[in-house]
Amino acid sequence: MLAASGAPFKQAGWQDGWYANAQRLDSPNFGERPEDTAVDLIVLHSISLPPGVYGEGYVQALFTNRLDWDAHPYFQSIRDLKVSTHFFITRKGVLWQFVSVNQRAWHAGASSFHGREQCNDYSVGIELEGLEGEVFEAAQYDCLAQLCHALREHYPIAHVVGHEHIAPGRKQDPGPGFDWTLLVRSVAWSPQYFPFSPNEIS
């Protein structure tokens, strides 16, 4: 992976797109990014399986195609779904990684950002364990802020958005319970990185 200058990114803490501070669990659901694509977008999601249930390992099973479709009635509605993400942050702030950041994970679906279609091609997907509309835990924000910094040190990250911003009308996560102001303050980045105007941050 190259920086905008053409020089290779530093690899301290990273190995072939895998982050040393994450628990690695390889997903088979990924592909190659288009050649010479700059990974400059972070997309935040929320997920829980079944909805509102936490800590059972079902999310990890989904992303690795190991979910028992008969373990809960809700799972029949997503039967045979094949998706993935780069990172997953549990309610306790534990960080998992399923796909190398150098690879294309299957998290955004039909999407567009600033006129660029197919956000999966150039984004990093981060799933937060939670339910859209409900609040997230302090440990998750702490982990997310650290991860955002680590990503920006090694990839030309220019924007952080929610799934709702790149697939409006189709997706609503992470939802109104996500505290964007807290994230902006935690990372101490300019509001220009985020999907709203600077005067919305107080």
Give the domains, in start order, of the chain with CATH numbers. 31-48+84-189 (3.40.80.10)
CB within 8 A of 85, min separation 6: which ones? Answer: 45, 63, 98, 99, 105, 107, 125, 126, 127
SS3 of the chain: CECCCCCECCCCCEECCEECCCEECCCCCEEECCCCCCCCEEEEEEECCCCCCCCCCHHHHHHCCCCCCCCCHHHHHHCCCCCCCCEEECCCCCEEECCCCCEEECCCCCCEECCEECHHHCEEEEEEECCCCCCCCHHHHHHHHHHHHHHHHHCCCCEEEEHHHHCECCECCCCCCCCHHHHHHHHCCCHHHCCCCHHHCC
Reported as a pLDDT band with limits 50, 70 and 90, residue 2 is: very low
CB within 8 A of 118, min separation 6: which ones? Answer: 108, 111
Q: Please give the C-alpha separations between residue 4 and each of 115, 129, 139, 159, 165, in angstroms, as whole numbers.
A: 20, 33, 33, 15, 25
% the chain with pLDDT above 70: 91
Give catalytic residues, as residue numbers: 127
**Cis preceding linkage at 8, omega within 30:** no
Mean pLDDT of 160-168: 97
Residue pLDDT, tens place only, 123-137: 999 999 999 989 999
pLDDT at 36 over 60: yes
Residue pLDDT, tens place only, 73-121: 999 999 989 999 999 999 999 999 999 999 999 999 999 999 999 999 9
pLDDT at 198 over 70: no
pLDDT at residue 200, rounded to an integer: 52
pLDDT at residue 196, rounded to an integer: 72
pLDDT at 1 over 70: no
Tokens of 128: 């937060």
Reported as a pLDDT band with limits 50, 70 and 90, residue 202 is: very low
pLDDT at residue 12, rounded to an integer: 54
pLDDT at residue 8, rounded to an integer: 36
Across all residues in the chain, what is the average pLDDT? 92
